[in-house]
Every structure is written in structure tokens, then in C-alpha cells.
Amino acid sequence: MNLKKVLGIATLASVFALTACKDEKKPETAAAAEPAKQEAPQKIKVGVMSGPEHQVAEIAAKIAKEKYNLTVEFVEFNDYALPNPAVSKGDLDINAMQHKPYLDSDVKANNLNNLVIVGNTFVYPLAGYSKTIKNVNELKDGATIAVPNDPSNQGRALILLEKQGLIKLNDNTNLAATPLDIVENPKNLQIKPVDTAVAARALDDVDLAVVNNTYAGQVGLNTTEHGVFVEDKDSPYVNIIVARQDNKDSKPVQDFVKAYQTEEVYQEAVKYFKDGVVKGW
């Protein structure tokens, strides 16, 4: 073989070797230069009751933004009858304002069969409040007691009154109990169903009122300082987050649930409700 051919082959081999080396390094160089991908921002619209529960949920919104880049828009309500239909119709993504017995009752009454539970929040125990007595033994014959008039909270309040020895129901497991289910009333107490939203404000007109914690907090009542008796903290009435069948597994919904079920949110709830709140998760 002559010298020119040898040199040509050697040169060609060198070119192939250099090209191969460059090709091998390309992926590494490209990977190093590629910027990190940022997660696209998410949004969610959440229904809550006005007052302390909304303030607690704001901490969940802050955590959702910081950890999951999730922007939370709250829609506030003063009427429990409105948030479930709003979620069902798609006006809201989720709501956080009720316990399961209330949801079950609302679903049945209003055919909201596309609603599902996606997470727990807190147990907010019902409590009996009074401006005139400190103990149930002080209730006089014929005293008037206000109870919430919505189906689930009314039964819950009556069961609580039975636990205090004030009345006896024909079935103390019936969550839909009404005053008509009272079979014993030794003090002839006047049980007065009132709108759930005004029960706390009825204290000027009744001897005792069984009040939902949401509304008690709105008028400055808490179980430690003002409660005559309080529902057990192992109550099955844990509050829940409710979504629809078609969005229950979506990332915004799941991220909001995770943001809510945190120690920071619990501590905010304690700030407002003192010992009237327990974790439900």
C-alpha cells in the first residue's frame, strides 16, 4: 500500500473518532443546558361559611399556594342550603362547610347524587350556651331551649340534650329526630327549633340554646368560657370536604385537601375555637 493511501485512511479514521466523541457528549451538554420545567399554576374555587371557618381555610389557601402553586378563590356563604347545589352544578369546585349527616340529608332531599367526600377537616362539637345558668341542673321547669331547625343538627342537638339527662327520645341513634320523638320530658322543657344561623343570637330570649360552633364563633362564644355542656370530642360528626364525581381525583382538589390537613391549619382553628375543635384526619 502506498504512503498516500495509508495517510488518507488514517485521516478518515481520525475524523470518525472525533465525530463519535462529539456525538457522545451531545446529550450530556443538552441536558445540562435545559432549564428546569416549572409546574403550571392551578386554580380552585371553594365554598365556605363566613366567619371563623373561612379564616381557618385561608391558612390552607396560603399553604396550597406555597407548596402546590394552587390559587384558591373562596366564595363565602351565610346559608348552609347553598354550597352543595353550587358544587353539584359546577359553580364551585368543592366546599368545606358540613358533616356527613348533613350531606346525606341534603343529597337525598335535593337529588345531589354527584357529590362525594374527598377529605376530612375538623369536628366542631355542638354546645349548650346560656346567659342565665352555668349547669343544666339550674334549668327550671318549663324552661325554653332553642335547637337548630335543620334536619341533621336538630337531631344531633336532641341527642345531646338526652345525654345531659334533660329529655328521653324514642331512638337516641336517630339523627333525624325531632321534638315529636321526645317520649320523656320531666321538666316540661319547651324545645324551640330556630333557624340554625340565629340560634346563638336567641340567647336573649331563651334559657339555653344548642349552637353550632360556626355561629357561636361569630358572636364571640366559645365552649371553654361560655359552654354549659359540650358534645363529646369523639363525635362522628366530622366536617368534610366535598367535590363532584367528575373532579374528585383532580390535582387541584387533592392538593387542597393535603394543604388543609396540616398542623398549621389546625393551630389556626385552635386560635378561633379553643377546645371546640379536634382534628378529623
Domains along the chain with CATH numbers: 42-125+236-279 (3.40.190.10), 127-230 (3.40.190.10)
Residue 66 predicted with pLDDT over 60: yes
Q: CB of 246 within 8 A of CB of 36?
A: no
In the chain, which ranges are continuous DSSP H helix? 3-33, 52-68, 83-89, 100-110, 151-163, 213-218, 223-226, 251-260, 263-273
Query: What's the pLDDT band for 220 if we cut at 50, 70, 90?
Result: confident
> Does the pLDDT value for residue 39 go beyond 70?
no
Phi, psi of 2 (to 5 degrees): -80, 170
DSSP secondary structure code for residue 218 in this structure = H
Is residue 145 predicted with pLDDT exceeding 60?
A: yes
pLDDT tens digits, 173-209: 888 899 999 999 999 999 999 998 888 888 989 999 9
Cβ count near 224 (within 10 Å): 11
Gap between the Cα atoms of 66 and 22, Å rounded: 42
Q: Does the predicted model carry a pTM greater than 0.75? A: no
Sequence-distant (6+) residues with CB within 8 A of 220 are none
pLDDT the model gives residue 27: 47
Encode pLDDT of 235-277 as tens digits.
778 999 999 999 999 999 999 999 999 999 999 999 988 777 8
The grid cell for 266 is 389546625
- Reply yes or no on whether the pLDDT at 11 is more than 60: no
Residue 237: what pLDDT? 84
pLDDT of residue 38: 55
